[in-house]
Amino acid sequence: MRAVRQGQVQTTAGRLIYLEFWGGFVQYLAEAKLPIRQRKPQPQHWYDVAIGKSGVHVSLTVRLRDEDIGTELYIGTTEAKRIFLELQRDRTVIEGDLGAHADWLELPEGKASRIVVRNRIPIADRERWPEAFEWFGRMAQKFREVFAPRVRRLLEAADGSAERNGD
């Protein structure tokens, strides 16, 4: 029973850190006047940013255990695998545009795929939060710039193909 309680305390402590961290991030967005929608902070390890297409978004993530943060393109549409593979064909160009190496996670067993850039900034170190906020703001904008037009073209091409095939 004690182990269960300790796990619950750890989870609660982590959730409180997430809530405070994302609260600080929302404040940073307001002060920096970045064109990222401010959402109510939640006690979770992610903060989603829309790119204008249903089922595809940028997700800002924090990992307490791994002591890093990440920005990822989450592709969760019915076309996820096709979109991922099409994007992966341009991997070198995309990574050049992002200015960073990305982890390309097709996740063949799952519905979604992800493209992730990570940074070793532990959010348990509150003094590094301003650095994390700035990195998230910059990377969220960069991910939208790099991926939104590509994803839009890939989805429109699929819609056009379906129309030509009588679907």
Per-residue pLDDT reduced to its tens digit, 134-155: 999 999 999 999 999 999 999 8
CATH architecture of the domain formed by 2-164: 2-Layer Sandwich (3.30)
Torsion angle of the four alpha carbons 12, 18, 21, 22, in this order, in degrees rounded to the nearest 10: -130
Confidence tier at 131 by pLDDT (50, 70, 90): very high
Predicted TM-score (pTM) of the model is: 0.87
- Burial class of residue 102, CB neighbours in 10 A (0-12, 13-18, 19+): buried
Tell me the percentage of the chain whose pLDDT exceeds 90: 82
